[in-house]
Amino acid sequence: MISDLTVVGSVGLIALAVLYNTGMFGLSRRSHRRTGEQPRPRLYVFILACLNEEKVIAASLSRITSLRGDNFVAMVIDDASDDGTAQVVRDIGSPKVALYQRKLPNARRGKGAALNAGLRRLREARIIQHYDPHDVIICVVDADGRLDPHILQEVNPHFDDPATGAVQVGVRMYNRKQGLLARLQDMEFVVYGDIFQSARRHIGSVGMGGNGQFMRLSALDSLPGEPWSDCLTEDLDLGVRLLAEGWNNVHCLTAAVHQQAVLSLGRLLRQRSRWFQGHMQAARLAPLILRKIAPRPAVDLLYHLSSPVLLLLTSLLPLSFLLALIGVGVASVSAGHLLLSPWWLPWFYLMTFGVASAYTHVYRKREPDLGFLRCVLLGHVYVLYGYIWFVSGWWAVGRTIRGRQTWLKTART
């Protein structure tokens, strides 16, 4: 009896995941009405925290300086790079680009610390003094981030609503044509943005990502303490804290920042382990969510924060499946005939790859040139690709148990 109940528990876990994912897909298909007042003149400040980014920073700054409009500047925070990052920035020689160099021993204390230092420096800048903090928008871009040319025109109307504290744009991989792994990462970010983030606009729990996050200076000022924490996923942390202060976070579906996909499996696992560990660290936000965020977004955020636990639990299921399959094979050989009805096959297929149709539908809307069959195939591979989280999740658990909390950043190529 107890043994059966525990198996029912497994079914419950799967049912929860199916219900949540299906519900989010349904919600994401609903349109979202934008409210707002008259547009006001705003200043956009792009902040790029860089540590040894000489390979990619010039291309990113070139994209920023060629954006339409003249109401923006960029600040590069050089976090004591060993390479030529600072020189590359100086060589650009644009009046729209400022360089702020941090020195050791204060530098190299993580991305959050660099961003906080940059923001402190920015507050002293003369250009900021001409604007109300409500009309100064800080945008965090990774050093490899390439912004869509129309990004300011797409993001700006969201800030016409005075309650909007932050806007997250979509994230794409600019090297998505360089192999299957890059393509799958692109699909992963599209699925996350177009399904989960899009659905969260209706729930009120939109999260911030590390790249392409736009925030009002007044919203950052309203946070207790420094905006960016020392958490490995300081973006997740910031998004929740903004919601807790009563701001709305918005996800912008019509513009994106393009970043570099990781091209080797080892590096990808390492990157995801870092994110997973950061996600686990973010559990400390639970009391804040419970106390200060409205019930509906709070439930979603708590589910999101607890997803590492669910992922680790579900990681045992593929093993169970494999063993069950081996068991059937061995028993069938002993019995001399197949012990599993062939009718199970379509059921297995539907349960495993049925979800691929939703992902294919969403991704094909973004990549219409990819071709239907290729998209369908990609959707199937994507389902299997999702299992990299199991490996990276247990890796992160191992690091946490050993008390290792810091990571080297993902190297650019």
Partner 1 sequence: MYAKPSIGLLAVAGAAAMPTATPVFRVARILLQVTGVGFGLYCAGAAVLLLAGCWMRWRDAAAGRRRSTAEGL
Interface ranges with partner 1 (CB under 8 A): 3, 5-14, 16-18, 20-21, 196, 275-276, 279, 286-287, 290-291, 298, 302, 306-311, 313-314, 316-321, 323-328, 330-331, 339-341, 344, 347-348, 351-355, 383, 386-387, 389
What radius of gyration do the chain's Cα atoms show? 23
> Taking CA 137 as the corner, what is the angle to CA 133 and CA 139, rounded to the nearest 5 degrees?
140
| Dihedral class, residue 395 (left if φ above 0, else alpha if ψ from -120 to 50, else beta) | alpha
- Give me the least distance between CB of 339 and partner 1, in Å please: 4
- Give me the least distance between CB of 9 and partner 1, in Å please: 3
Report the residue number, 127 or 345, with the smaller CB distance to partner 1: 345
Are 64 and 95 within 8 A, CB to CB?
Answer: no
- Give me the least distance between CB of 233 and partner 1, in Å please: 10
DSSP 77: E
Residue owning tokens 């990681």: 315
> What does the alpha-carbon distance between residue 170 and residue 110 come to, in Å, rounded to a whole number?
24
Report the residue number, 101 or 271, with the smaller CB distance to partner 1: 271
Report the residue number, 353 or 395, with the smaller CB distance to partner 1: 353
Neighbours of 5 (CB within 10 A): 8
Report the residue number, 9 or 371, with the smaller CB distance to partner 1: 9
Report the residue number, 55 or 267, with the smaller CB distance to partner 1: 267
- Give me the least distance between CB of 360 and partner 1, in Å please: 14
Residue 31 parent element (H or E):
none
3-state class (DSSP) for residue 291? helix
Kindly compute the dihedral angle of the four CA atoms of residues 261, 264, 270, 275, in this order, to the nearest 10 degrees. Answer: 20
- Give me the least distance between CB of 259 and partner 1, in Å please: 17
Report the residue number, 344 or 372, with the smaller CB distance to partner 1: 344
Report the residue number, 58 or 391, with the smaller CB distance to partner 1: 391
Report the residue number, 22 or 62, with the smaller CB distance to partner 1: 22
- Give me the least distance between CB of 13 and partner 1, in Å please: 4
- Give me the least distance between CB of 286 and partner 1, in Å please: 7
- Give me the least distance between CB of 25 and partner 1, in Å please: 12
Report the residue number, 44 or 382, with the smaller CB distance to partner 1: 382
Q: Cβ-count burial of 88 within 10 angstroms (0-12 exposed, 13-18 middle, 19+ buried)?
A: buried
**Which residues are registered as beta bridge partners of 249?**
166
- Give me the least distance between CB of 411 and partner 1, in Å please: 22
- Give me the least distance between CB of 289 and partner 1, in Å please: 8
> What does the alpha-carbon distance between residue 344 and residue 253 come to, in Å, rounded to a whole number?
39
Nearest CA-CA partner of 138 in 125, 198, 86 = 125
- Give me the least distance between CB of 212 and partner 1, in Å please: 18
Residue-by-residue DSSP string for 217-233? HHHHHTSSS-SS-SSTT
Report the residue number, 127 or 325, with the smaller CB distance to partner 1: 325
CA distances from 342 to 324, 327, 337, 346, 347 (A): 15, 16, 12, 8, 10
> What does the alpha-carbon distance between residue 324 and residue 328 come to, in Å, rounded to a whole number?
6
3-state class (DSSP) for residue 210? coil
Nearest CA-CA partner of 151 in 54, 67, 223, 259 = 67
Q: Cβ-count burial of 341 within 10 angstroms (0-12 exposed, 13-18 middle, 19+ buried)?
A: exposed
Residue-by-residue DSSP string for 182-205? HHHHHHHHHHIIIIIIHHHHHHT-
Report the residue number, 9 or 69, with the smaller CB distance to partner 1: 9
